[in-house]
């Protein structure tokens, strides 16, 4: 009976603990959901919200205007102007700022002192930076250039026309320009600011130039004045638009300007590639075209009265192919090895140099190059022989390359590597008698490494393997010649100190070189031999 209230109290406390645990779990879930919503909202914003400056330099007297894109619907995204390098809230405060209305829009800022600033696009009333752009406010904006709206003008005597100069940048402080005509008797100029009025006084040509006060930048227009009643060219045509010639042939073409009563019916002729086809003007709009070498050229006829009117005749000079040569007639290779082949089509100015490659047995040697090119890659697939043939598209001229795919014999290389490595491993390195220098050992080690690279290369040729054997044997021979044979009394002392040592001694590796009679023991015999060696030096 006494235990029942205690049991009831424990159950009540347990239920309260469960309720508290459940409330805590719900609170945590709510916090996580809010955080996830914020994170998703920020991640979406970060990929779409940007700001764009209309320029990177502003005069102190003009507003700084920028465009923003993708501002949040709640209107809490904002744009702040900071000193360059400031990163809120840790460093710096906004000099000025504005909220960004939902979607896309613009904001402007005025009253900024000269200096360099960053415009920051910030997220949801906070300091998470979505985008940053840098700009400058300057006290003056220098002129960087000037352009004219018309580089060439055609007028008739008595005409009046305007010409406009545009100074850049558009917010440069000094927008003033001056105007001058190279021949006022032909074209006179009166100007108001950047707009000039041109008066065509007499037939002829003059150059009108605009010059900026700031920086002395210039822009010029060529003005041509025609006499009253002058009939201008309004078009041009040619009788042969596409012509094919053999090398050495000639043909005539005729260009006709319109109208037929044009004041200047003359035609100017040019060739895009005179080495292929040259052109010489005749009379009455005709010209003679000479085919010089194989290829393609464009012959252009231009109205002398107005270079804006042109017409083209496309000339193809056909020089037939008369043969083909390969840079290799015989190739020896191993399986999985690739080799480059190059074909040369003759003559050098043949119009069509395209070729087709083929293999007599693609299961042994495969041609992996593309057709219609003079280069190909052949790949050995298995032991055997095959013939690679190149054939010209023009004329079907051919040449063969005999390819043998053999088993690579690298046993001599492996033996040379083993012998060199054994010699290097057993050598004593140092500056004493019977030792090899450190530099000699390094050279042999490098030669062994190079030989190993060739031995492990599945694409190595037999020639490369053979050359590697020769190089390694030469390096080994040079190493053996680097042995220090200048003995001294110190060497006699060493033999005396180790008299009786044998090949089982713990320091045998260090003193083995003093076993001059090679009986695996340091003895009086070795001492006598060393003494004799010193006497005979």
Q: Tens of pLDDT along 57-67? A: 898 888 999 99
What pLDDT does residue 372 have?
Answer: 58
Average pLDDT of the chain is 87
Top-level class of domain 410-484: mainly alpha
Out of 173-182, 254-263, 370-379, least confident range: 370-379
Does the structure show a pLDDT above 90 at 92? no
What pLDDT does residue 32 have?
Answer: 43
- Helices then strands, each counted (H, E), the chain: 7, 32
Percent of the chain with pLDDT over 90: 65
What pLDDT does residue 23 have?
Answer: 41
What pLDDT does residue 316 have?
Answer: 96
What pLDDT does residue 16 have?
Answer: 45
Out of 22-26, 50-54, 210-214, 503-507, least confident range: 22-26
Quickly tell me which residue has 């003005």 as its tokens.
Answer: 223
Q: Tens of pLDDT along 377-387? A: 999 999 999 99
469 closest CA partner among 452, 446, 445: 452
Q: Which CATH number among 3.40.50.10140, 1.20.1250.20, 3.10.20.340, 2.60.40.1080 corresponds to the domain 235-318?
A: 2.60.40.1080
358 closest CA partner among 315, 324, 328, 388: 388
What pLDDT does residue 46 have?
Answer: 45
What pLDDT does residue 19 have?
Answer: 47
Q: Do 235-318 and 323-406 fold alike per CATH?
A: yes
**In what side-by-side order are the strands of the sheet with 115-123?**
57-59, 128-138, 115-123, 78-83, 96-99
CA–CA distance, 355 with 16 (Å, rounded to integer): 91
Structural domain boundaries in the chain: 50-138, 145-226, 235-318, 323-406, 410-484, 489-536
The predicted model gives 199-219 an average pLDDT of 97
Does the structure show a pLDDT above 80 at 243? yes
CATH 3.30.365.10 matches 145-226: no
Out of 73-82, 144-153, 430-439, least confident range: 430-439
Quickly tell me which residue has 């013939």 as its tokens.
Answer: 387
Higher pLDDT among residues 434 and 135, named by residue? 135
CATH 2.60.40.1080 matches 323-406: yes
The predicted model gives 24-33 an average pLDDT of 44
Kindly indicate the confidence band of residue 492, based on its pLDDT and cuts at 50, 70 and 90: confident
What pLDDT does residue 370 have?
Answer: 61
CA–CA distance, 533 with 434 (Å, rounded to integer): 12
What pLDDT does residue 531 have?
Answer: 82
What pLDDT does residue 537 have?
Answer: 64
Q: Which CATH number among 3.10.130.10, 3.90.198.10, 1.10.357.10, 2.60.40.2840 corresponds to the domain 50-138?
A: 2.60.40.2840
Does the structure show a pLDDT above 60 at 319? yes
């Amino acid at each position: 009976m006494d235990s029942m209230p205690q049991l009831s109290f424990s159950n009540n406390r347990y239920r309260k603990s469960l309720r508290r645990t459940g409330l805590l779990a719900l609170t945590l879930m709510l916090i996580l959901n809010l955080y996830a919503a914020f994170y998703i909202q920020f991640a979406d914003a970060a990929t779409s919200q940007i700001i764009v400056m209309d320029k990177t330099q502003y005069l102190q007297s003009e507003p700084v205007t920028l465009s923003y894109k993708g501002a949040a619907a709640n209107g809490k995204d904002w744009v702040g102007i900071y000193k360059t390098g400031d990163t809120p809230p840790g460093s710096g405060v906004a000099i000025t700022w504005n909220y960004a209305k939902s979607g896309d829009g613009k904001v402007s800022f005025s009253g900024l002192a000269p200096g360099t600033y960053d415009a920051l696009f910030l997220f949801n009333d906070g300091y998470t930076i979505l985008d940053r752009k840098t700009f400058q406010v300057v006290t003056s904006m220098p002129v960087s250039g000037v352009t004219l709206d018309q580089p060439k003008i055609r007028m008739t005597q008595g005409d009046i026309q305007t010409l406009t100069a545009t100074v850049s940048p558009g917010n440069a402080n000094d927008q003033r320009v001056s105007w001058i005509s190279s021949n006022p008797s032909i074209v006179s100029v009166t100007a108001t600011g950047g707009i000039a009025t041109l008066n065509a006084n007499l037939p002829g040509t003059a150059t009108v130039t605009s010059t900026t006060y700031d920086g002395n930048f210039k822009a010029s227009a060529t003005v041509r004045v025609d006499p009253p009643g002058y009939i201008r060219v309004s078009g041009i045509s040619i009788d042969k638009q596409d012509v094919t010639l053999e090398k050495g042939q000639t043909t005539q073409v005729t260009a006709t300007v319109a109208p037929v009563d044009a004041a200047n019916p003359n035609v100017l002729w040019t060739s895009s590639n005179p080495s292929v086809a040259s052109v010489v003007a005749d009379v009455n709009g005709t010209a003679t075209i000479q085919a010089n070498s194989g290829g393609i050229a464009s012959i252009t006829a231009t109205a002398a009265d107005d270079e804006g009117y042109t017409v083209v005749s496309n000339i193809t000079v056909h020089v037939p192919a008369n043969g083909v040569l390969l840079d290799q007639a015989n190739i020896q290779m191993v399986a999985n090895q690739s080799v480059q082949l190059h074909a040369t089509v003759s003559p050098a100015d043949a119009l069509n140099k395209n070729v087709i490659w083929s293999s007599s047995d693609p299961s042994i040697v495969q041609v992996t190059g593309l057709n219609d090119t003079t280069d190909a890659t052949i790949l050995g697939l298995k032991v055997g022989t095959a013939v690679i043939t190149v054939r010209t598209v023009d004329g079907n001229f051919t040449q063969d390359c005999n390819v043998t795919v053999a088993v690579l014999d690298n046993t001599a290389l492996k033996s040379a590597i083993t012998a060199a490595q054994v010699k290097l491993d057993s050598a004593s390195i140092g500056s004493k008698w019977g030792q090899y220098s450190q530099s000699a050992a390094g050279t042999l080690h490098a030669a062994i490494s190079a030989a190993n690279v060739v031995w492990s290369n599945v694409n190595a040729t037999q020639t490369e393997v053979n050359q590697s054997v020769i190089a390694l044997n030469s390096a080994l021979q040079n190493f053996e010649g680097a042995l220090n044979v200048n003995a001294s009394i110190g060497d006699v002392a060493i033999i005396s100190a180790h008299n009786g040592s044998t090949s089982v001694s713990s320091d045998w590796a260090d003193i083995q070189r003093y076993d001059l009679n090679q009986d695996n023991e340091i003895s009086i015999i070795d001492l006598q031999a060393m003494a004799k060696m010193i006497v005979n030096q």
